[in-house]
Amino acid sequence: MDVKIENSWKEQLQKEFTKPYFLQIVAHLKTEKATGATIYPPGSLIFNAFNTTPFQEVKVVIIGQDPYHGPQQAMGLSFSVPNGITPPPSLQNIFKELQNDLGMPIPLTGNLTPWAKQGVLLLNAVLTVRANEAASHAKIGWMNFTDAAIKKISEQKKGIVFLLWGKFAQEKQQYIDANKHFILKAAHPSPLSAHNGFFGCRHFSKTNEILMKQGKTPIDWKL
């Protein structure tokens, strides 16, 4: 099937689009829409992480769980919300750590697109959700697809910085070749766990140190 996704990713993930699990995802989403369910993010933004950060430009990967399930929040980039939408608590804590780590002022927007355009793949493990029902699409097959994307990055690239925040993201470590890549782990930035090791992790400055040691351009984390 012809999936509307950025060409370099289409090339890397082509085999996935014809697998039974992917066809089941498509059928599931069509069925839910036909019964009147609201699904986030809108269809044009489901592959936003891939479309904004082409495969050849990926330098950093931040893995989230599933999209925000409130109105107008989800935009297909992990942790990110559109301009004008109040940053949710986890994102507020990310900004606090950014301020503590790099001395940057707390951003006025929760839109992380500028990070994605610099090579930070903001990848949710699950790419859709039913409105007001957290993790409602966690078992429809998306993780097969996003795990395949993580494996492709691990196999085809080297020197990528993976930021694994929380137990869920850290379970993805099994797909990453630690001999070729850099894995930084911390607690999840959620208010429930941020004080257990997310605050003070300094992942933003550490990421840039790793990139610069490889001769890569560091990320400008300012928004």
- Is the CB of residue 137 less than 8 Å from the CB of residue 126? yes
Task: Tell me the two tokens of residue 218.
Answer: 């560091």
Based on C-alpha coordinates, what's the Rg of the chain?
A: 17
Cα 212-214-216 angle, rounded to 5 deg? 60
Q: Which of 2, 66, 101, 220 is catalytic?
A: 66
Let me know if 66 is a catalytic residue.
yes
| Distance (Å, whole) CA 90 – CA 79 | 7
What does the block give as tokens for 135?
A: 């993790």
Rounded-to-integer distance, Cα 200 and Cα 167, Å: 18
Specify the amino acid at residue 126: V
Beta carbons of 12 and 55 less than 8 angstroms apart: yes
Give the residue numbers marked as catalytic: 66
